Structure formats: structure tokens, C-alpha cells
């Protein structure tokens, strides 16, 4: 299965990109780095610049139907930038319209809020997003990983880097079930 990893050009929390990427690759999937611009994506270790990663596809030149699932890594700047890019928001929305699974960690649900896909869903995130999720019609819970199967798309969410092991195991299970 091809899995899109959607990131902004700068500000992605590196471990929230690299660990799910490795897990997907080790499970036999094809991870694809999708961004709003061509070139490279700048990873961060919290506030410190880390490694760069080559962009495989630009969001304006691809579509959700090219992928079996979507992973949204966190970092504060990454989803904040993505939610202001209409093509990125529409890309996310299309996964839900098409009933494809989506996984988001840490601050990444900000992009889901902007895409208006959290209404009537139960999810978790970094605690500071709790009010945003509730205001968007979702239910926020403080759990290591949460799977919500409301509607045609299954949504997997986690709170923080400490939850990565459970996040990776769970999204891989859900994505595999969806591939059917």
C-alpha cells in the first residue's frame, strides 16, 4: 500500500515522521513524502533543526486516490502551516470522502480541524488542541492511542512522541484492515 506522509516544508517533528515511516516500510508499505512544495522538508527535534528529507510528491500534483492511507506527523509549525494551505486541507478532506484511513499524532489534528472532519469523532492529540477539537465538534480524550471508526474512514490519533510505538502498531493494523 502507498501511504502518504503529508508535511509542510518546515517544522515537522522529525521522530513523528521517521518512526511511522520506518514502521510502514518495515511492514511492506510504500511511504511517500508529500508536501506543499518540491525540494526538501526540514525536520525538527522540538525547536532545534534536525535532518532534511526529500519530497516525493507535491500535494497540488497528486490526489488521495493515489494512496491507501494518510499519516499526518506533528510538530507545532507543521500542521499550523498545512491548515493554511487549501490544497493540503482538500487533500486531507479527500481521504475522508473516499473512506481511506488516516493517522495523526501530536499537533497534527489541527489540520483535521481545518478540514472539518473531526465532528462527531473521538480523538486524542497534544493536550493544547483539546479546545480546538471540541469547538470543531469532536470529543477529545487523553489516551495513548485512539481509533475512531465513525463514518467511512477510520481515524487513528495519538498524543505525543512517547506514544509512537502504540501509534505505529495501531495505524498499521487499521491500514491493513482497510486494505482488506
**pLDDT one digit per residue (tens) for the chain, 180 residues:** 999 999 999 999 999 999 999 999 999 999 999 999 999 999 999 899 999 999 999 999 999 999 999 999 999 999 999 999 999 999 999 999 999 999 999 999 999 999 999 999 999 999 999 999 999 999 999 999 999 998 788 999 999 999 999 999 999 999 999 886
Catalytic hit among 17, 106, 136, 174: 106
Instruction: Give the pLDDT score at 179.
Output: 80
What CATH code would you report for 2-179? 3.40.50.880
Nearest to 108 by CA among 2, 5, 1, 3: 5
Nearest to 126 by CA among 103, 110, 138, 102: 110
Question: Is 70:3 a contact under the CB 8 Å cutoff?
Answer: yes
Please name the residues in contact with 36: beta carbons below 8 A apart, sequence gap of 6 or more: 8, 9, 58, 59, 60, 81, 82, 85, 87, 88
Instruction: Give the pLDDT score at 170.
Output: 98
Instruction: Give the pLDDT score at 1.
Output: 96
- Catalytic residue status for 168: no
Task: State the cell numbers at 63.
Answer: 490526489
pTM as predicted: 0.97
Instruction: Give the pLDDT score at 42.
Output: 97
Instruction: Give the pLDDT score at 180.
Output: 67
Amino acid at each position: 500500500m502507498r501511504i502518504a506522509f503529508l508535511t509542510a516544508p518546515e517544522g515537522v517533528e522529525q521522530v513523528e515522521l521517521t518512526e511511522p515511516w520506518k514502521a510502514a516500510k518495515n511492514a511492506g508499505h510504500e511511504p511517500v513524502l508529500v508536501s506543499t512544495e518540491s525540494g526538501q522538508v526540514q525536520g525538527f527535534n522540538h525547536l532545534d533543526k534536525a535532518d532534511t528529507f526529500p519530497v516525493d510528491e507535491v500535494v497540488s500534483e497528486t490526489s488521495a486516490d493515489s494512496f491507501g492511507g494518510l499519516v499526518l506527523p506533528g510538530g507545532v509549525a507543521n500542521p499550523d502551516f498545512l491548515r493554511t494551505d487549501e490544497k493540503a486541507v482538500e487533500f486531507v478532506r479527500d481521504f475522508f470522502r473516499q473512506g481511506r484511513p488516516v493517522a495523526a499524532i501530536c499537533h497534527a489534528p489541527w489540520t483535521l480541524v481545518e478540514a472539518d472532519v473531526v465532528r462527531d469523532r473521538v480523538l486524542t492529540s497534544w493536550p493544547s488542541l483539546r479546545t480546538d477539537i471540541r469547538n470543531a465538534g469532536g470529543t477529545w480524550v487523553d489516551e495513548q492511542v485512539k481509533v475512531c471508526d465513525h463514518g467511512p474512514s477510520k481515524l487513528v490519533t495519538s498524543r505525543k512522541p512517547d506514544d509512537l510505538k502504540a501509534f505505529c502498531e495501531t495505524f498499521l493494523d487499521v491500514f491493513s484492515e482497510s486494505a482488506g
